[in-house]
Structure formats: C-alpha cells, structure tokens
Chain A
Amino acid sequence: MKTTKNIMIVGVGGQGTLLTSRILGGITIHAGFDVKLSEVHGMAQRGGSVVTFVRYGEKVAEPIVEEGQADVLIAFERLEAYRYAHYLKKDGVLILNDQRIDPMPVVIGAAVYPENIIEMLQSRHKVIAVDAMSIAKELGNARTFNIVVLGVAAQHMDFSKEDWLEVIEKLVPPKTVEINKKAFVTGFELQKINA
C-alpha cells in the first residue's frame, strides 16, 4: 500500500472513541503497517465534540487527517457527522451511528439541531447509517454500540474478520471480550447483507 489511509472517528466526549481508535491502531500494527493516531484528552472529553485520527501505510508523517482527506469517517453521532463531513475525500465513505445527542446550545434553545442531516449528507457523500445503539441493546450491552459501528466500518478497510477479532480480544477488558466480539461481528455482517 503506497498511499496512506486516513480514518477519522468523531463523536461526543464519553462515547468511547478512544477504545475504538485503539482497536483501529491495533489492527494496523497487526497487519504490519506504520501507524499514527491522534486523540483528544482533557477538557474537550467532558461532553464536547471529540475527534480521533488514525493514519496507516508504509510511512506516516503527520498524525492528523486534514479536510478532504478522510477515506473513512466514522461518526458516533449525527451532528458530529455533519460537522466533520468536509473531511471526507470525494470517494470517501461515512459510517454513521444514527443517534442524536443535543449539545448544550440546543438544550438551552440558543441553537437549533439541524433536521434531515442524513439526507443532506447523502446528497454529497456515500453514507451508511446504522442504529447501532438499538442493535447493541438487543445484544445485551448498549455500551458496545461503538464496536457495532466499527464492525460496519471494517468492511471499508483492508483487514480480515479473524484479524479484527484477534485484536479485539487483546484490547478490550477481559470480561467484555465475548460481548464486544459479538457486537463487532453483528456490525460486520450487517454491512454485507446491505451491500
């Protein structure tokens, strides 16, 4: 792989973007790539808009993904997808967890949560929207919704299901290995059926 692949994860602080990016980092190393990940810690994590960049390839220089460069944009929340969609490449794909979390300006009535975000995004980008929260709840643990989303996104990356599962097993807390694997496979298969 000559060119560097650019993945972005966006969401709301507390949604578990860090675990997802760690698994992403893990799989790229597992496959023998050079990789750089960039995260947000500290204040922004307190319910703010958070972004994680993952870049992998033969040799990676900068640790961030810039506007117009993302191959895959994984969004855990609708408004955050909307906010960062311009980071996508022309032929990039947006994996969207169809969830709405009102930011404080919306809660207090100082701003309006945009309607029809998915339709607006679909007019410009390839969008795959999933209700991962409901799927994860059905599987028995709502908190694994991010791994369901990762499973969907994995169809747009260069690694086998077996490799993903191996990395998940290594990186999630031991007690949650089975539920996380189940969540991943569900997301992974879901995409296949829809494709």
Chain B
Amino acid sequence: MSDKVIMLGNEAIARGAYEAGVKVSAAYPGTPSTEISENIVKYKEIYSEWSPNEKVAMEVAIGASISGVRALASMKHVGVNVAADPLYTVSYIGANGGLVLAAADDPGLYSSQNEQDTRAVARAAKVPVLEPSDSEEAKEFTKFAFDLSEQYDTPVIVRVTTRLSHSQGMVELCERTEREDRPYVKNIAKNVMMPGNAVKRHLHVEDREKRMAVDGCSMAVNKVEYNDRKIGVITAGIPYQYVKEAMPDVSVLKLGLVNPLPKNLIMEFAENVETLYIVEELDPIIEEQVRAWGIKAIGKEILTIQGEYSANLLRTAILRQELEIEQAAAAPMRPPILCPGCPHRSTFHVLSKLKIHAAGDIGCYTLGAVAPLSVIDTTICMGASISSLHGIEKAKGKEFIKDWVAVIGDSTFMHTGINSLINAVYNQGTGTILILDNSTTGMTGHQDHAATGKTLMGETVPAIDLEMLCKSIGIKNVVSVGAFNTEKLEQVIKEEVAKDELSVVIVKAPCVLLDKKAITSQYKINTDICTKCGMCMKPGCPAITRRSDKSVVINDTMCNGCGLCAQICKFGAIQKSDK
C-alpha cells in the first residue's frame, strides 16, 4: 500500500535510507544537513549517532560498509572538507555494503562560512554524485545511490542544497527492504590502501568513471524532455524547478547523475536544440566539462556563480523578459542575534568591558562579532579559534595576546577544538581559551555531543568531563565559572590572560532554549528608579527596547529571565518578578 505524505527534503533522504535497508548512520550536525539524522533516529531499524566531527562520521560509515551493511554519512558542505581525507581514499576502496554520503550545500550562505560546491570535491575525489530536485526524488535518489554504490563498487554522494533540504514536498512512502548483510571477507588488496594496493585500485576508479559516464546515458535519473527545440536547457537539482516554472515550454535535459556526466546523452541533446543553456547554481561544473567537449553553451556569462537562482532570474537572463516588480522598501536590516537570556551575551559583555580581542569559532557565538557586542575578531572554520590564536602568538609573541582569548563552544571543542588545544600544549602556547559550555550544539537546534551525556538515540552515557579532559593533557590552569556570574568571570579572565601559561576557562550555563520550562522568573524595569541611562541596553538584548519617550522597557513575551541587565544596572531599577 502506498501512502503520500509531506516531507522536508532532509526527511525524505532519511526515509530513502530507511527504505534502502540502511543499518548504520553517522553525522555531525550542520545547517542545512542536520534534519537528516534527526529523522533517521526515528527508524528503530537503523543504528544512528552524532559523531564528534564529519571525518569520524564518514569513517564510521566506511567501517559499516566494509563489514557488509548499507551505511549513510551526512553533513553540510564544509563538513565534507573535514571528511575529505577518508572520502578521497574510500573512492579507491569502494563499497561492500552500499555507502552513501548525503552532502548539503548552502548557496546564498543562509548559515555557513562559505559557498563552496560539493560537486567540485566529488570530481576531485572521483565519487559519483546524484542530485535530486524535490522531496520525492530526494527519497528515490537516496535509494538508487545505495544500488549504484554496490553495483559499481563506489561511495556515492547525494548532493542537495539548502532550498531542497528545507523545502517540504509530497513523498510516496514505500516499505523498507530488509537485506541480508553482504559477507565480510578479508581483502587487503581492496581495503588496505598502501601504495602497492592503491595503485591498482586507482585503475578501478578510472575504469568506473568511464563505465558510469556511458551507463549514465541510459539511467532513468537522467531525463530528456523535448518541447520547443529553440531553447534547450541542461540542469539538475533545485534549478530544474526554476526552469520548469519560468520556461515550461523549452526542452530540458534534467541530469540526476551529475558526476560523471553522461557524455553521449548530453552531446545528443545539444545537437537537437538550437541554443543550449546550462542552469546550475554555484560553480560551472557541468558547463566547463560540456564546453571542453567542444559544445557551444551559454551559462555563467549570464547566470551568477553566487547565491540561489529563481524563476525570475531565468526569465530575465534567458528569456530577456522585463519584469514589473515593485521596488523593495528600504527597511532597516534584521540580522540574526543572540537570543534573550543567551549565556554568550553575558560572556561577551565581560570581554567587551575588558576590551579583549577574541579569536572566534563556528556556532551561535559567532554572532558576538556584530554590534553592539563586537567582540569576535576572526571566524574561519570549526576548531580554528584555538589554533589561530596560537599562530598569532607564535608570530607576534606572547605579550601581543595578553588582551586576546579564543572562544569556542562545547560542541565545536569536541569537534576539532581538542586537536588545536593539544597543539597549544605541545608547542607551549600561553593563550587563554574560553570554552563556552552551553551543554548542547546550539545553532543547529540542540543536538547532543560527547560532553552532554546523551546520544542521538537517547541513551544516557557518561559525559566527557571538559575540565578533566583539559587537565589530562597537561594544562595546569583550568577554571570553571558560571556564565552569568559576571564579577567572577571578569576576575578569572583578567587573571588568566595575565599568566605566561596556557589557560582554559570553562564558561558554563545551558542554552536558554534547552529547557524553557526552567524559566520561572523575568525582569521588569521600575520606572520610578530608572534614570533612562541605557546601560542595560549595551549587551544588545532584544527584549530591552527604548520607547519614543526615551523610557526603557523589557518585553515580557521575550525576557528569558537571565538577569544580566539587572547585574549591569547601577541603580537597582531592574527587578525580578515571577513569570
């Protein structure tokens, strides 16, 4: 019996993995990929975990595949960089049980530090890529990816983008196919990638690429839709929907397999249309290959490399339509901000007061870079705060970093921050590292990690103790302090940055959104006492605003009762009240 339901693209990938008989799934959360694992965990037939980082997740999935079961790893585009090392080599090893990597790119940078294209990584690693264009395809292509993986002895990437990951569409549910595990047979020629073996497996990789480029021409995921042949469009993924919306009457070659490209199919299509356009978001991956074959095509000279596409973009660029669109109002921007009651605000308030620079990292606390807090100096990638501070010290000397700290969240610290900290111990750094421990992975919507004591599947496990971990690698100065104890925090930071030794300050307070039921009090401004000085507004809490008559008010639907403003007010005008 088939059943139609509405699903997020990510949810559909999870469903596809379930129906394909996947038994192991590993991931590290990252927008826009997070919901894949959050939905996988609903299927009891699948073992699923949050790994500390994407490299580990990839390797867990590879191990499961080598053992003979179908396995999924999922991550965002920049996570693929972290997982690149195993990915490039498992391309040689191939798969025993089907091995699929779901990678989610972020054109338009809704929640990322760059706009890279996973297809470029896949080409370099010579890993096949399937690209779905709606939720139904996300499910079906994921299933197909496992078949391809086993048939061609290869890992397969299912590449999606934010727009698909976070769009919901109709999906027809099928039953799960339980499959016998493939037998595990020791095979060092295939699974031990030392030079003598790898050189032979490389032949397999090159041969596989050629075979798939030929076989791809007859795969149902690559679809030719001939209509008016004046315009022909080669496209894939979400941009296919924009093509159908803007130009329903043109001829389309919709690619499902985007690496390796089905060369003969593309050449035939090109011959059958008058003007060929290539519509792909981000890099000209299809376009450059097609042009290298001597085919004339129009692409990035009229379509941008940056951001997301839309039907209107194609109407303007390809159809040269003049659109009657009202101009957008010049409204003040509304950038994302730390939530009311966020413990990071308290920490940044102290850093700001002490005029301290911060080497930053990836997480909600990156928002400490923007006004009025303006504390963060650098943000590069996961784990880079500690190591880049170390680099600054080695370049400029220890006196230079006496007014610097590194700030990193607990989840990011477990991801790759720990490596950087080991380096700082080994190479005698003297910096001060603030681990902002809010007991969760905040930005991606509250996922557990090795230091929270809970697994993705909800098991209670011993939490890794950050304080003990730091001490165990030889750091003498490890101090824990509550994030909202601003007086103590200020004193501790002053002391630790002054030292000629490495220090770790663990700044603790759970993310305010973790348990909103725990909030039992709020704060109000006593207008009889308030001098309207505005000091309480300095840390930029969105719950505190100034009215047109200059009076300051706390919005009772937003206040989460952290009390930072009350600590700041010198006049005692901000008072606690029951919620």
Contacts and interface: CB of A to CB of B under 8 A. Distances in A.
Interface of A: 12-14, 25-26, 29, 34-49, 60-64, 66-68, 79-80, 82-83, 85-86, 101-108, 110-114, 124, 133, 142-143
B31 A43 contact: yes
B334 A103 contact: yes
Nearest to A46: B336
B372 A62 contact: no
Contacts of B31: 41-43
Contact of B169 (A63, A80, A114): A63
Contact of A38 (B35, B163, B312): B163
B241 interface: yes
A61 B245 contact: yes
A145 B110 CA distance: 27
Given A14-B339, A66-B311, 4 more contacts: A66-B310, A68-B325, A79-B331, A79-B334
B245 A83 contact: no
A104 B339 contact: no
Interface in B213-265: 238, 241-242, 244-245, 248
Interface in B1-53: 6, 8, 31-32, 34-35
B337 A62 contact: no
A83 to B, nearest CB: 4
Contacts, number: 170
Given A47-B337, A49-B334, A68-B323, A104 B169 contact: no
B244 A62 contact: yes
A82 B330 CA distance: 9
Contacts of B367: 43, 46
A25 to B, nearest CB: 6
A83 B540 contact: no
A42 B242 CA distance: 24
Contacts of A44: 110-111, 336
Interface of B: 6, 8, 31-32, 34-35, 110-111, 134, 163, 166-170, 238, 241-242, 244-245, 248, 310-312, 323-329, 331-339, 364, 367, 370-372, 443-445, 537, 540, 542, 544-546, 555, 557
Given A25-B168, A42-B444, A63-B169, A48 B326 contact: no
Contacts of B545: 102, 107
B542 A101 contact: yes
B312 A67 contact: yes
A46 B443 contact: yes
Contacts of A12: 334
A110 B374 CA distance: 14
B311 A103 contact: no
Contact of A85 (B323, B329, B339): B329
B31 to A, nearest CB: 3
B331 A114 contact: yes
A39 B310 contact: no
Contacts of B163: 38, 63-64
B50 to A, nearest CB: 17
A22 to B, nearest CB: 8
Contacts of B444: 42
